[in-house]
């Protein structure tokens, strides 16, 4: 059969109702984005004021525990919240429901105050997919510039050493940033070592810096010197000590196990009672708080020495592990990481719930795994842990309040959508079905051209050729 004439297209009987539902979806989504803006403001303030620092590793860990976010999502919320603190235009657009959280999350990966206005226009004009493509292309250009900059640093690293006319040695260096950071840390550590050496030698003014007279091996003040050394002189002394120390040790950092070994001498009475008289010192005699010694003794090698009344050593026992290897394997298998609420870090330290110095046994039931941060919290920050009759652990804050493994959800209003609308209206935020609609009219997105126009590194000659950004973003189209 052959039909002629215009084709009949039936009208959906519920098209008006579906449009109404679609408008409601769009409007409610914009209300939710405005609420997320307020949520991010609160997260930023909570993070900046350290509200999470009551036993939690970070604000993200607290969000996982208290709000129920997955760790990746929690970290992203904190990141976006921090970024928006310096990006008021993007923050306001989100608060008005004009930009979705998805767009803002993408834009904050590359936004700076200098380019914020340009990126806001991208967010308002394009869809979330457009924004993601622009951001990916932008970051490719950034990485290309970064690689070029790193190669330039590496190529121009240099060290010049020569003698001045008066015999002094002049050193001039250009170091890559990471090498420079190591150098600065080494100089700072050497300066601190010199301060400690002068104090140990009984310098009259312990607040001043040391001066070398006969070389770096014997630091002391010059007799009759009216002033302390200048900062430049202190840096020179520190550099000499760094070089001397490196040669003395054969420029060999040693095995990792020995390099980071710390020996603590602590009396048995101090381990049992932090207020008891007795020593708690590291190898060079520096004081260590008794609570710190108790934490270290929880899971460490132990050598028992006995002394007579005059302090002479009369007996030295063999070195033993506080937690034997077999028991440690069982502990790690059972706990699967730190047991502090919301933590779960895979690597941790064995903690005696009742310290062995108090008579607590080194048994699986008296042990638990804690990460370094929470092990410190229990020993030195007043947090407590106990194993209950049913075998479960109970953690308490310093004030004695229980830290629940899973917090109770907050109360919710009977009509949360109405409450959300009322709050936004009260805040002067007008939202309707068109608020978050992008300005896109269906044009094809030329990512390479967009990056060339907007990216600071793609202006001038690069903008005229467009080659750099186009090559960097070709695979994103």
Residue 316 confidence (pLDDT) above 80: no
pLDDT of residue 43: 95
pLDDT of residue 221: 45
List 264's β-bridge partners, or say none: 282
Question: Closest by alpha carbon to 425, among 42, 97, 45?
Answer: 97
Phi, psi of 338 (to 5 degrees): -60, 135
Instruction: Report the chain's terminal Cα–Cα distance, integer Å.
Output: 45
pLDDT of residue 90: 95
For residues 204 and 199, what is the distance between their CA atoms, to the nearest angstrom? 8
Within a 13 Å sphere around the CA of 50, how many CA atoms are in the beta-carbon half? 3
pLDDT of residue 85: 95
For residues 44 and 86, what is the distance between their CA atoms, to the nearest angstrom? 11
| pLDDT tens digits for range 373-424 | 888 888 888 899 999 888 889 999 888 888 888 777 777 777 777 888 888 8
Query: Average of pLDDT values for 68-88?
Result: 93
3-state secondary structure of 242: helix
Token representation of residue 99: 């930009």
pLDDT of residue 432: 79
Cβ-proximal residues to 288 (8 Å cutoff; 6+ apart), any chain:
264, 266, 280, 281, 282
Question: C-alpha 211: how far from its chain's center?
Answer: 39
Q: Is 172 left (phi over 0), alpha (psi -120 to 50) or beta?
A: beta
Kindly give the interhelix angle for 128-155 and 116-125, rounded to the nearest 10 degrees: 150
For residues 363 and 381, what is the distance between their CA atoms, to the nearest angstrom? 25
The secondary structure of residue 287, as a DSSP letter, is: B
Give whole-number Cα distances, 193 to 204, 235, 248, 260, 323, in Å: 17, 12, 16, 18, 35
Query: Average of pLDDT values for 58-65?
Result: 90
pLDDT of residue 169: 86
């Amino acid at each position: 059969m052959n039909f002629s004439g215009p084709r009949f297209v039936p009208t959906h009987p519920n098209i008006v109702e579906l449009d109404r539902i679609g408008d409601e979806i769009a409007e409610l989504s914009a209300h939710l984005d405005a609420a997320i803006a307020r949520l991010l403001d609160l997260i930023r303030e909570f993070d900046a004021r350290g509200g999470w620092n009551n036993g939690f590793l970070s604000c993200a860990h607290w969000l996982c525990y208290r709000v129920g976010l997955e760790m990746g999502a929690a970290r992203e919320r904190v990141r976006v919240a921090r970024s928006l603190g310096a990006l008021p235009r993007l923050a306001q657009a989100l608060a008005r429901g004009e930009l979705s959280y998805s767009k803002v999350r993408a834009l904050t990966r590359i936004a700076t105050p200098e380019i914020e206005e340009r990126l806001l226009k991208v967010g308002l004009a394009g869809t979330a997919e457009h924004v993601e493509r622009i951001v990916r292309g932008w970051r490719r250009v950034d990485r290309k510039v970064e690689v070029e900059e790193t190669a330039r640093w590496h190529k121009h690293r240099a060290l010049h050493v020569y003698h001045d006319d008066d015999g002094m040695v002049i050193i001039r260096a250009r170091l890559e940033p990471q090498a420079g950071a190591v150098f600065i840390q080494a100089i700072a550590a050497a300066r601190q070592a010199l301060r400690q050496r002068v104090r140990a030698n009984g310098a009259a003014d312990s607040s001043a810096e040391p001066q070398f007279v006969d070389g770096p091996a014997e630091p002391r003040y010059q007799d009759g010197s009216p002033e302390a050394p200048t900062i430049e002189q202190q840096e020179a002394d520190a550099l000499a000590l760094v070089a001397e120390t490196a040669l003395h040790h054969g420029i060999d950092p040693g095995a990792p196990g020995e390099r980071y070994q710390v020996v603590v001498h602590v009396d048995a009475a101090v381990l049992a009672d932090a207020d008891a008289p007795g020593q708690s010192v590291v190898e060079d005699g520096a004081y260590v708080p008794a609570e710190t010694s108790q934490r270290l003794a929880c899971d460490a090698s132990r050598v028992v020495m006995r002394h007579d009344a005059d302090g002479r050593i009369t007996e030295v026992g063999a070195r033993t592990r506080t937690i034997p290897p077999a028991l440690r394997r069982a502990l790690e298998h059972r706990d699967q990481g730190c047991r502090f609420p919301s933590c779960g870090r895979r690597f941790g330290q064995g903690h005696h719930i009742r310290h062995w110095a108090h008579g607590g046994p080194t048994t699986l039931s008296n042990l638990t795994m804690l990460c370094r941060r929470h092990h410190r919290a229990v020993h030195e920050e007043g947090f407590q842990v106990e194993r209950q009759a049913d075998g479960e652990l109970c953690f308490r804050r310093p004030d004695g309040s229980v830290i629940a493994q899973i917090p109770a959800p907050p109360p919710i209003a009977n009509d949360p959508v109405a409450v959300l609308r009322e709050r936004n209206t009260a805040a002067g935020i007008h939202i309707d079905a068109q608020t978050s609609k992008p300005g896109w009219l269906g044009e094809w997105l030329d990512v390479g051209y967009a990056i060339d126009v907007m990216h600071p590194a793609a202006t001038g000659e690069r903008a005229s050729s467009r080659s750099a950004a186009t090559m960097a973003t070709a695979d994103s189209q």
